[in-house]
Amino acid sequence: MMNGGRHRNSKFTIRNSTFARCARALGIALFLLHPPAVARAATIRRIFEPTDLEFERPGTTELDMEFGLVRGQDAYRVSMPDFELDLGLAQNVELDLDGEFALGGPDDGEFRIDQLAQDNLWSALKLGLATWETKEADWRWALGAQIGPVWPLAPGAQGVGVEGIGLFGLQMGQSYFVLNTGALLQPSDQPGQPRAEGFVGGLDMEIALDRDGVWALTGELAGAAYWSPDEPQITTTLGIQWSPLGNLELSVTGLRGWLAGGDQWGILLGVAPKFRLW
């Protein structure tokens, strides 16, 4: 399956436990951000984020984190972080955890950051189903799927949801494009409220800016159309990614929302270490 171009020949083994210690420290920090006595912000519906068709090797994990300021549908928040944890389980089988821990402000749009505003957690298996290559191996086509439950971790959320998407990817040299299409059923935002349910789709892309794939232009186009009484969403992101090491990526990304139903704008700094667990 697709492995994100530059990762095909990367060394995944880290020679010391620096990233492991960082991961443990992050886990402690996220736990401390969620004490039961802290006031909670109202639920803020996050945008659908397209995913890629990169698969980690078995026993290898990548923790993709983005920190920054976002103007949501009704309130500001500081992502601490918006994260995606990928763990390779077998060839073309990966466990993904996708969520966000954040501090936010009131729903009247006042610029005040004093409440918890974490998102629901999507836990999913990503499966590589098929791959086709040209004879020269310059172009690779891939088909995959990602599906799993959505856990109600957002303030006031109730009930377990589900999200599933089909993935169709094209890799050209060091660049790739992945089309996402699927559906979701979210946990209820508040007791007694209807669940958000509808179609989601988007495009995830990474365009290499040099021959070695050290610098890349990244972007996403994401949309959601609900048959429940929820506002539709269209969001775009654009960023620059730098990969100074085979096991580390750094990025700067800007976000722009085009409809009232999702995030309106944001600026995020990303760091994505990769390390082996076994």
Please write the tens of the pLDDT for every residue from 127-176. 999 999 877 767 899 999 999 999 999 988 999 999 999 999 999 988 99
The pLDDT value given to residue 8 = 37
Strand partners, 245: 248
Tokens 């980690």 map to which residue? 56
Q: Are 238 and 221 in contact (CB under 8 A)?
A: no
Question: Does the pLDDT of residue 185 top 90, yes or no?
Answer: yes
Q: Which amino acid, residue 272? A: A
Give the angle subtended at the CA of 269 by the CAs of 263 and 275, to the nearest 5°.
115
Q: Which of 83, 84, 87 is nearest to 61 (CA)?
A: 87
The pLDDT value given to residue 168 = 98
**How many percent of the chain have pLDDT more than 70?**
83
Q: Which tens digit of pLDDT belongs to each residue from 72-83?
A: 988 999 999 999
**Alpha-carbon gap, residue 127 to 139, rounded angstroms:** 20
Integer CA distances (angstroms), 39 to 46, 95, 187, in order:
20, 32, 21
Q: Kindly indicate the confidence band of residue 15, based on its pLDDT and cuts at 50, 70 and 90.
A: very low
DSSP symbol at 188: B
Classify 256 as helix, strand or coil.
strand
Q: Are 236 and 258 in contact (CB under 8 A)?
A: yes
Least confident of 33-37, 108-112, 153-157, 251-255: 33-37
Least confident of 35-49, 97-111, 157-171: 35-49
Question: Does the pLDDT of residue 43 top 60, yes or no?
Answer: no
Q: Kindly indicate the confidence band of residue 107, based on its pLDDT and cuts at 50, 70 and 90.
A: confident
Burial of 76 (0-12, 13-18, 19+ CB in 10 A): buried
The pLDDT value given to residue 1 = 58
Strands 76-90 and 60-71: antiparallel
**Alpha-carbon gap, residue 102 to 100, rounded angstroms:** 6
> Any alpha helices (H) in 33-103, and if so which ranges?
none
Q: Kindly indicate the confidence band of residue 209, based on its pLDDT and cuts at 50, 70 and 90.
A: very high
**Alpha-carbon gap, residue 133 to 171, rounded angstroms:** 9
Number of neighbouring beta carbons within 10 Å of residue 163: 21
How many H-runs (helices) and E-runs (strands) does the chain carry? Answer: 1, 13
> ω into residue 81 within 30 of 0, thus cis?
yes
- Stretch 240-266: mean pLDDT: 94
Question: Does the pLDDT of residue 25 top 50, yes or no?
Answer: no
Can you read off the two tokens belonging to residue 171? 């890799």
**Alpha-carbon gap, residue 120 to 44, rounded angstroms:** 10
The pLDDT value given to residue 108 = 82
Q: Class assignment of domain 6-276? A: mainly beta
The pLDDT value given to residue 10 = 33
The pLDDT value given to residue 114 = 86
User: Half-sphere exposure of residue 80, counting CA atoms within 13 Å on the CB side?
Assistant: 18
The pLDDT value given to residue 44 = 56
Question: Does the pLDDT of residue 39 top 70, yes or no?
Answer: no
> Any alpha helices (H) in 36-81, and if so which ranges?
none
Classify 106 as helix, strand or coil.
coil
